[in-house]
Amino acid sequence: MNSISLAEPTQTKETISWTSEKETRHLTEVYKECSAQKNENRKIQLIHPCSVTSRASHSGAILPPLSLAYLSATLREAGYPVSIIEGQGDGVLNIRQSECGRYNLQGLTTEEILDQIEPETQIIGISLLFSYEWLIQRELIKAIRSRYPDIKIIVGGEHPTALPEYVLRDCPEIDFVVLGEGEFTLLQLVSGLFYSKEFLSTSGIAYLDDQENFISNGLSNRIMHIDDIPRPAWDLCNVENYFQPNWSMGISFGRNMPINATRGCPYQCTFCSNPTMWTTRYIMRDPVEVADEFENLVKVYGANNIDFVDLTAIIRKDWTLAFCEELKRRKLNTPWQLPSGTRSEALDEEVLQALYDTGCRLITYAPESASEETLKQIKKKIKIDRLVESIRTANKIGHTTKFNIVIGFPDDTLGGILKSAWFVFKMAFYGSEDCVITKFSPYPGSELYRRLRDENKIPPPDDNYIYSLAGFMDFTRTESYCKNVGGRTLSFFVVVMHAIFYSFAYLTHPKRIFRVLFSLTKKRFIPSNVLEQRLYDVFMREKYSTAKN
Question: Quick one: 20-216 is in which CATH superfamily?
Answer: Cobalamin-binding domain (3.40.50.280)
Residues comprising the chain, all counted? 549
Rounded to whole angstroms, the Cα distance separating 76 from 19 reads 29
Predicted TM-score of the model (pTM):
0.92
Q: Is the dihedral of CA 379, 459, 463, 219 positive or negative?
A: positive
Q: Classify residue 90 as exposed, middle or buried by CB count within 10 Å of its CB (0-12, 13-18, 19+).
A: buried
pLDDT 10s digits, 127-136: 999 999 999 9
Tell me how crowded residue 310 is: count the other CB atoms within 10 A of its CB: 23
What is 21-36 written as a DSSP string?
HHHPPPHHHHHHHHHT
What pLDDT sits at residue 479? 85
Contacts of 174 (CB under 8 A, 6+ apart): 141, 153, 154, 155, 167, 168
Pairing relation of β-strands 256-259 and 262-263? unpaired
Q: Name the percent of the chain in helix, strand, coil, to the closest 5.
A: 45, 15, 40
Tell me how crowded residue 433 is: count the other CB atoms within 10 A of its CB: 24
**The domains spanning 20-216 and 248-440+478-548 adopt the same CATH topology:** no
Residue spans of the domains in the chain: they are 20-216, 248-440+478-548
In sequence order, the β-bridge partners of residue 84 are: 46
Per residue, the 3-state secondary structure of 133-190, as one string, reads HHHHHHHHHHHHHHHCCCCEEEEECHHHHHCHHHHHHHCCCCCEEECCCCHHHHHHHH
What pLDDT sits at residue 213? 97
CB 293 within 8 A of CB 259: yes
The answer to whether the bond into 245 is cis (omega within 30° of 0) is yes
Rounded to whole angstroms, the Cα distance separating 514 from 30 reads 58
Q: Which of 64, 28, 31, 70 is nearest to 48 (CA)?
A: 64
* Host H or E run for residue 196: none
Tell me how crowded residue 181 is: count the other CB atoms within 10 A of its CB: 28
What pLDDT sits at residue 37? 65
Q: What angle do CA 293, 339, 164 make, to 5 degrees?
A: 85
What pLDDT sits at residue 13? 33
What pLDDT sits at residue 343? 85
What string of pLDDT tens digits covers the 549 residues of the chain?
Answer: 344 444 443 333 333 333 344 444 445 566 666 666 666 678 999 999 999 988 877 667 899 999 999 999 999 998 899 999 999 999 999 999 999 888 989 999 999 999 999 999 999 999 999 999 999 999 999 999 999 999 999 999 999 999 999 999 999 999 999 999 999 899 999 988 988 777 888 889 999 999 999 999 999 988 888 898 999 999 999 999 999 877 888 898 899 999 999 999 999 999 999 989 998 899 999 999 999 999 999 999 999 999 999 999 999 999 999 999 999 999 988 999 999 888 888 899 999 999 999 999 999 999 999 999 999 999 998 999 999 999 999 999 999 999 999 999 999 999 999 999 999 999 999 999 999 999 999 999 999 999 999 999 999 999 999 988 876 667 777 889 999 999 999 999 999 999 999 999 999 999 988 888 887 777 777 788 888 888 888 788 777 776 666
CB 269 within 8 A of CB 380: yes
What pLDDT sits at residue 483? 94
Q: Where are any strands of DSSP class E within 425-488?
A: 434-439
Domain 248-440+478-548 has CATH 1.10.287.3510: no
